[in-house]
Structure formats: C-alpha cells, structure tokens
Chain A
C-alpha cells in the first residue's frame, strides 16, 4: 500500500500538482478550486510530455538524413523541446526538477528578502527549463537524488534571483525606471551583446527615429514561425537526400510529402508542449506570486521579455533580423569547427534577439542595435553547437534537439564540474549584490 502511494507521489505530474495544491490551500481557496488546480497542473505536465514525445519522433528522421547527407549532426534549437524530452525520458530528472522548481522558488523569495537583490523571477516556463537543466547537470555528474534536489534548489534560487539583477542596469536604460525587471534565461547573451553594441554604436541615433516596414509581424505567431523554419530545413534535407534514402523512413510515401508532414508534425509537437506548459503554469505562477507578495512586499517583479517590446518596436525588428543573420553565421561556424549544425530558431531570434536589439539601441543607438542582434544570434547557435559536443544529450532521450537559452548553455558548461560551477555562481552573486548595493546607495544620495 505504502509503495503504491510513494510511486504515485514521485511522478513529476503529481509532485507539481501537489505543489500547486499547497499554494492554493495557503491562499485559502475553495475545495473545488484546489481540486481543479491540482488536476490542471498534473494534466499540464502530462500534456507537455506528450508534446515532447511528438517533437522527438518527428525530428528523428531529419537527424538521421542530415547526418547521412552532410556528415554532420543537425539539431533543432529549442530549450523547451530539449528539456521536455530529457524530462520525459529520465524519471529521476523529472521528479527532482519538479522539486527544484518548487523549492527553488522559495529560495528565490528568501534571497530577495535577505540579500540586496530584490527580484522575484516570474517567468514560469523559464523556471521550468532551468530546473530541468540543473537536474540534468547534477544527474550526469553522478549526484544522488537527494543531493540533486538540495544543490539544485540552491542553484535554482541563486540563478533566478541573480539573472534579473544582471540585466537590470540595461532594463533601467530601456524603460527609464526601476519598476520591472526581466526574467529570462538569455540574459547573459543579450546583456553581453548589448554592451558590445554600446561600444561600437552611437547612442544619439536611436533606431526608433527610423520608419520600418511592418510585414514581418506574422513571425510573432509560434505555429507560423516554427513551421516555416522546419519546412525549409526539412525540404533541404529530403531533397538533398533523394527519394531512395528518404524511403527508409517514409516507406511508400512520396519523399517531399514526407518532409513536409514531418516538419509540420514537429510544429504540432511544439504546440502541444506549449499548451501543457500553459496549463501547469496557469496554476503555479499565481500561487508563487501570492507567496512572494506576502513575504517580500516591494520586491521588483521580473517578467517575460515582451514587456520591453513596446518601448522600442523598431529596435525589436532590427534585433530580430540581425539575430537571424547572426544565427546563420554561427550555424556555419559551428558546422565547420564542431561538426554540429544547430538550426536557426526563429522564435528565439524574435523574442530574445529582439531584446538584444532593444538593449543595443539603449546603449548604442541603431548601430548598437544592429551589432547587438548580430552578436547575440551568433553566440546562440555557436554556443549551442559547442554545448552539444560537450554532453551526450542523446543518452538522455534528447536526440535532434538542443538549447537556445544562452544562460542555460553557460550554466550547463560551468556545471560540468559541479563544485566549481556552484562556487562560480555564488561568486558572481556576491559581486552583483555588491554592485546593486552601490546602485541603491547612489540612488539614496541622489534623492537627497
């Protein structure tokens, strides 16, 4: 009897469901609300896993054919897809990451309460990605389950509080105030690119003074952009491979039709995964925010990147387009140097390349925006390729997919030796806290 209960309780869908339930009970919600919250959260995780399975099965023929034709390992870059796949394939990672995500949030709240970095990380899917990535790193380093959770939650809390603080100086430049921060796992990439853009740019010539065409707006729709990218790459591969090679996968189906359907199938998998993410976050994030509001009033909410978009729409587009170009360059560089080909991520280019463009405009005007977007795109694919050679993702069920979140890539690389990685994170945390204290002191002096 006990073992049955333990079995049920250690599935990630159940763990996250229970966390949501606790959050709702703490907020004194009705019984019906608590029950539906529990179910929707658990269901969300299951839908997510279903999506991850579809993604992996649709991309597998591509990976095979790509390797045969180009003698290179090609993979789609999407952190959601790769962590979804890893979580679905390795139960230990799934259950430990769920705990890391839940308890890591509390660590974030405690750090915001007691250290100078008063940021509460509120972008749910990013919390999820980093929890799985951290669990993965500690798992392959040989930690046992209990230690994965202990060290993992500390890391998660540190990272979630630290990242918004790192880009906050930039965000203040963009928004002109200190009321919101950014919670994303591409902070190191965008901030670095923006600094480089600032060095070579001219702050006085803002990109917002220029008129740009609006025809590229449809890329904001995930289903459209993912489909278009996958269609292009799949078609290239099946045409290059030829009907005979493709028939090994396609059977009697025409080889071009096969490529088209697989590409769309990949998109479908992404949409299913996102729906699952939407469901479980819809229950979890309000609980988290409720807890944070009670324990750290006056903390700065760190939100998803689109909150910056309205401040500099032209820079967004510039960042987007330049990031695509940068990604293509990085893709070729990675193929040549690492023999791995990370495919361009249009969604990454739009949402995060766009942010690089916006921050680049704040530091270096339109030239800064261009350079920032280009640098960011290049870093994304190049580092993703490098990461792919350092770890065997296929062994954990993630064939054909790789990361597109630069912060996760850097963290995973640092955690190759976990103890050094943890020390580095703590060290950076202390440094950034010191800088934040200096900023707060200057603000006090200014307002006198």
Chain B
C-alpha cells in the first residue's frame, strides 16, 4: 500500500487491514523507533479535533518525524479565503504525507486527487474516518484474539454514526453476526443492510438492549445526539434507553468488551469504567500504534 492514500475504509483490502494490524501489534511492543527521522508530515486540521490530532502527532513524534501544519483554520491562510486546492498543492510540496481533517464531506477524496503525496483522512465531516475503523479492528482482535465469527452489538445512533458504518463495512469481511440496537428514528440505513444481505451476513434489529448484551462479544456504543431527532419529545423518551449501566452487564460473557469511539457523554455510566468489560480508554491508546502502522505502511518504510 506504499503511496496509497487512505480516504475511506473501503479503499483498502482485507489483506491490507491485516497487514496494518500486524504492524500495529509490533509498534505496541516497540513504540519508539527512529523510522521517520528527518521526514516531514503535515497535519492539516481544518476543524479542531483534539483527540485525533494528538493521537497522530504522538504517533509521528514516537517515530521521530517532524510535524508541520495547523490545528485551527483561523491560524492559516484558509481564513484569508484560500481554497482547499491551493492549500493542498502548496503543502504537498513541503512534506511526504498529509494527514487531514476537514468539516466538509469528500474533502479528503478531493485532496488525495490533487496532492503529490498520499493523504490520510482523519475525518471529513459526517463521511469517513478510516483510521478510527482500523483502531477499532485492532482493539477487537486484541481483546478477542481473532476477527472471525464474532457477535457484535452496535448501539445508539446507527443512522448518522459514521464509525458504525465503516466498522460494519470492515467487519463484513470476517463473517460476523450483528445486533443493531437503536431508536426507530436512528435505524441502520437500508444500503448497509443490502450490503450484508448480499454477503449473507446475519443481523438482528431491535430497539431493546436486552438480551443482546449477554450474547455479544463486542458492544460498540455510540452517542445519541439530541440534534438528530426531528421531534424533541422522541428524544426525551429515548435518551435514557441507550445508557449502559453496570447492572445490565452482570451476565455478559467474560470475554465481552465495550468499545466507544469517544467522546462519551452519558451513554456509558462511569461505574462501568472499572469493570473488566470497559475497553474504551485502551481502545483510544491503541490508536497511536495503529496510526504509526498506517503512516509507516504508506511511506513504505515498514
């Protein structure tokens, strides 16, 4: 995958996912290596995102690379009205790789078409965030010892949640069984169900969490946002139905792990943080190794 931009999770094959996961495993054992010495990587954050940016910058710093860029458009010439095209054209002359986050959908695809160097999409609006998906895969494999034949419950906002859509697409290579649990207004879109039907992947849709919490190997929580509801009354009725409480997981399988792309608001009760099932903080930490792996693979140095 040398020089191959990562814009959408479907840009990479199953073999490429596995290659990155194996590399990430290696970085988790030896995170500090001088692989990027004297190399410059641009981190262009056209929209602020503290966690994703720090994760990428940590990954680059641990490999002794140099970071240029901005974390806020007000500090760049974008605020003077420069187009994305011009910014990418110029920056791609200075660096070997561009990591970018942009509020508009499709911005990363466009950048990858005009850039001289590969582009990693660190989020383009509500569209794609493929490095999140790869770190989710890594976390699933790390906690379960495998990716094949797992039961995965996706909970919360399944309509607008980009992380659940990308995770579904990526996991559909590994014969999973899915439980889609959401309010009626935020159900999984048809196009994803058609995709699963086509691959003969089993799934169940429901509005209730129980009994899926006892059956699942992975419980993937997402935030149900108030602004997603057309009817505020519907939101009030459902907002507490998708909050995970400690007593709800007392009969969960011992290997079950709870993942969340973060930030969390109240959908996982803080009491769960100390249970063996809570894995979301480690999941975020895994992001550094996975991003080290992605950068090294694209630059062709691993």
Tell me, yes or no, whether A binds B: no
- Chain B contact residues, CB within 8 Å of chain A: none
